[in-house]
């Protein structure tokens, strides 16, 4: 949709530029085709963007227009390009009213008029449908803008062609205004879409944490349990007749160490949940792997899964958002743990590898789970396709989006001896010139 909208704007801008730069004669020759492309893209854009309007109307409009375009070229094939321009623009029709092929030309003109009316019908219909759905701003801006475009094109062009308005820039200025209106709307939507993507990612992080709440509780409970027992032991030892101060000191040191461990863990959770804008920095993937493993420790423990880390030392750093890549890693590890949890204990192991390849850094998460069927390998990264029964299936789609944002790729392969390998790459940043 974004691509389509972008192409509309590009085509429109190209047209506007053509209007600005090229001579009137050249414009007239190109105008029919350019207008056709523009209007068809506009219609298609409205159809996709408003998700309204009828498909068969688009077909009829398209057929009528292509018919006139083809007719222009083939039937006027014996004429020169200038003459085609004359025919389309009707300038020569006014300047030399009594030249040949008048009847033929007017009949073609009716076909384009029918098409124009149909375009207006299509736009009105789509606009009303969107309006009724409650998407009023979109309907008015896009639908209204498009109709204004057609009307301006329909009125201004003949007027200008007729020599009443002599400056072609008026047309282009009107186009430009509409293009800008549409662009503003699109940018606004894109901005909101980006904001909601941020929200989805943040929500997903919260959901990941929710899924492993037992493991998280374990990670906090362990140091707390040690702290409480140590403190109660110290308090009781202090009541003895001859207090062993060395033991008390040792206990206090242990209490401090356990507190540090718990608060460090809570800090990493808070970082993961904090809503903040993406922050792209030069980062060490190995360090991110370790932080993800840290958060996953309790989850691995409660499912009795052993994590092996095979990290290539001194990896080149890549330009990424560490928080997002950590999210990808936690997601992949969580999937691996889920795939592994039902296995006999000896096979309950997950391995994570990092390595350097020509263009960057590659990360592989390996498990010994049931693996992914060939038919599902490509679908796995689509939203709402869930690998685990309980999962929401958004995990891998978001992983894909994040990895691709940093220029990487993510895919799944079978692991020799059973299980699956989730691999993703993060290319090194191009050296800046």
Residue 207 makes CB contacts below 8 A (sequence gap 6+) with 392, 394
Report CA-CA distances (Å) from 180 to 37, 155, 185, 187, 359.
18, 20, 8, 10, 39
- Are 368 and 355 in contact by the 8 Å Cβ rule? The answer is no
C-alpha angle 27/29/30, rounded to 5°?
65
Compute the least distance from the CB of residue 247 to another protein, in Å.
8
Of residues 33 and 225, the one with the C-beta less far from another protein: 225
Q: Tell me how far, at minimum, the Cβ of 223 lies from another protein, in Å.
A: 7
Number of H helices and E strands in the chain, helices first, is 14, 7
Q: Would you tell me which residues interact with another protein (CB under 8 A)?
A: 214, 217-218, 221-230, 232-234, 236-237, 247, 251, 254, 257-258, 298, 301-302, 304, 306, 345
The residues, ordered by sequence, that sit 6+ positions from 80 with a Cβ below 8 Å of its Cβ are none
Closer Cβ to another protein, 204 or 348, answer by number: 348
Q: Which is nearer to another protein, 305 or 365 (CB)?
A: 305
Smallest distance from another protein to CB 296, Å: 14
Q: How far is the CB of 338 from another protein (least distance, A)?
A: 17
DSSP strands (E only) in 73-180:
none
> Based on CB atoms, which residue is closest to another protein, 33 or 217?
217
**Comparison of 13 and 226: residue with beta carbon closer to another protein:** 226
User: Least Å distance between CB 333 and another protein?
Assistant: 16
Min CB(346)–another protein separation in Å? 10
> Considering beta carbons, is residue 227 or 289 the nearer one to another protein?
227
CA distance 85 to 92: 9
Phi, psi of 393 (to 5 degrees): 75, 0
Query: Nearest CA to 143 among 64, 235, 51, 71?
Result: 51
Q: Using an 8 Å Cβ cutoff, are 316 and 356 in contact?
A: yes
């Amino acid at each position: 949709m974004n691509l389509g909208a972008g192409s509309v704007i590009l085509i429109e801008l190209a047209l506007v530029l053509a209007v600005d730069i090229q001579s009137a004669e050249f414009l007239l020759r190109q105008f029919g085709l350019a207008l056709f492309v523009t209007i068809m893209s506009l219609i298609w854009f409205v159809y996709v963007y408003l998700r309204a309007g009828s498909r068969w109307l688009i077909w009829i409009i398209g057929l009528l227009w292509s018919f006139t375009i083809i007719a222009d070229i083939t039937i006027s094939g014996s004429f020169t390009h200038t003459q085609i321009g004359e025919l389309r623009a009707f300038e020569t029709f006014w300047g030399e009213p009594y030249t040949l092929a008048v009847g033929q030309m007017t009949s073609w003109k009716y076909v384009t008029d029918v098409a124009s009316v149909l375009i207006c019908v299509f736009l009105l219909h789509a606009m009303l449908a969107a309006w009724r759905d409650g998407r009023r701003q979109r309907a008015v801006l896009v639908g209204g803008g498009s109709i204004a475009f057609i009307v301006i094109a329909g009125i201004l062009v003949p007027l200008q062609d007729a020599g009443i308005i002599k400056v072609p820039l008026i047309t282009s200025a009107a186009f430009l205004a509409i293009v800008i209106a549409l662009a503003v709307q699109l940018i606004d939507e894109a901005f909101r879409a980006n904001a909601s993507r941020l929200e989805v990612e943040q929500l997903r992080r919260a959901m990941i944490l929710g899924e492993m709440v037992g493991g998280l509780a374990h990670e906090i409970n362990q140091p707390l349990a040690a702290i409480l027992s140590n403190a109660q032991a110290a308090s009781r030892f202090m009541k003895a007749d001859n207090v062993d101060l060395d033991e008390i000191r040792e206990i206090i040191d242990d209490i401090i160490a356990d507190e540090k461990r718990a608060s460090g863990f809570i800090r990493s959770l808070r970082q993961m949940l904090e809503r903040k804008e993406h922050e792209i920095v030069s980062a060490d993937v190995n360090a991110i792997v370790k932080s993800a493993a840290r958060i996953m420790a309790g989850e691995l423990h409660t499912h009795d899964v052993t994590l092996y880390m095979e990290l290539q030392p001194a990896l080149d750093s890549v330009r990424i958002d560490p928080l997002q890549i950590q999210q990808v890693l936690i997601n992949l590890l969580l999937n691996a743990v889920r795939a592994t949890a039902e296995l006999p204990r000896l096979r309950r192991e997950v391995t994570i590898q990092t390595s350097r390849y020509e263009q960057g850094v590659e990360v592989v998460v390996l498990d010994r789970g049931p693996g992914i069927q060939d038919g599902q390998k490509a679908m796995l990264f689509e939203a709402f396709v869930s690998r685990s029964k309980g999962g929401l299936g958004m995990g891998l789609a978001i992983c894909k989006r994040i990895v691709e944002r940093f220029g990487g790729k993510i895919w799944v392969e079978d692991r020799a001896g059973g299980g699956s390998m989730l691999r993703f790459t993060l290319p090194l940043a191009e050296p800046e010139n």
